Structure 1
């Protein structure tokens, strides 16, 4: 086998692996969004200057964050809905690849600063209304 044939085989194998990776990511995204809304976002942990891109899923009782490149369908971070508070957006937008002019908000529980969250401006009202609405079955018998 010549060197050219080896290079062609390696390039073909690389292209096939890339195509397989993209199909797996697409299937994972479909599985994550099967029953609950999912939107692109980024998080910044307290004390870290780095933003991490991911997917935010608003479930009935939890706000879940998934890493963009992960393979698992379980969340990398999850916050219970009850007691979770969201700040108003910062006046300046955050410039992140994959998010158009994102707004940054802070998620807190009591006095604990949990994470900074960057979402697109059109997604922020959805997250805020999800957080401020009562979860299903919570205080259902209020008179």
Structure 2
């Protein structure tokens, strides 16, 4: 009986360590992706529904990373001048998890069209980013 409990304890301890390692890996991945840049939750509409991800705003582009995954390379990169944001509209259909007060935005990118979903406050930040000049451009605005 004691050998069974010890074996069960070892299995439970291994499972707990596995869960802890996965959580640490997610935190480290998020830190590596952000690299000190602003991040926001952003879902992209695909044929099979919304795909939740993290968008990193750099000086030149928006880099979209899927929430699920181990890689640190972006799945999508949208350049500042190529991304044209439409007006926000109320979300139609199912709501992506984890996005509070979501809005749906139709965007034009490189001649194509995508639909994104993000929080209304994050939309304001993304709109401001897309309409502003990149840092260091020394653009004169009258």
Name the TM-score class by shorter chain: 0.7 to 0.9
Structure 2: runs of 5 or more not aligned? none
- Does 2:41 align with 1:36? no
85-94 vs 55-64, which deviates more? Answer: 85-94
Q: Which runs of 5+ in 1 are unaligned?
A: none
Aligned-partner Cα distance in 1 for 2:55–2:45: 13
* Cα-Cα RMSD: 2.3
Deviations 1:58-109 (A, max 9, x none): 1111111111122222111111112210111113466222111311112213
For the pair 1:14 / 2:36, whether they are aligned, the reply is no
CA contact (8 A) 1:95 1:101 kept: no
**Runs of 4+ deviating beyond 3 Å:** 1-4, 136-143
Write 1 or 2 for the structure with the bigger share of helix: 2
Residue matched to 2:131: 132
Matches of 2:42 and 2:27, distance apart in 1:
17
The answer to whether the 8 Å contact 2:33/2:72 transfers is yes
Shift of 1:142: 8.4
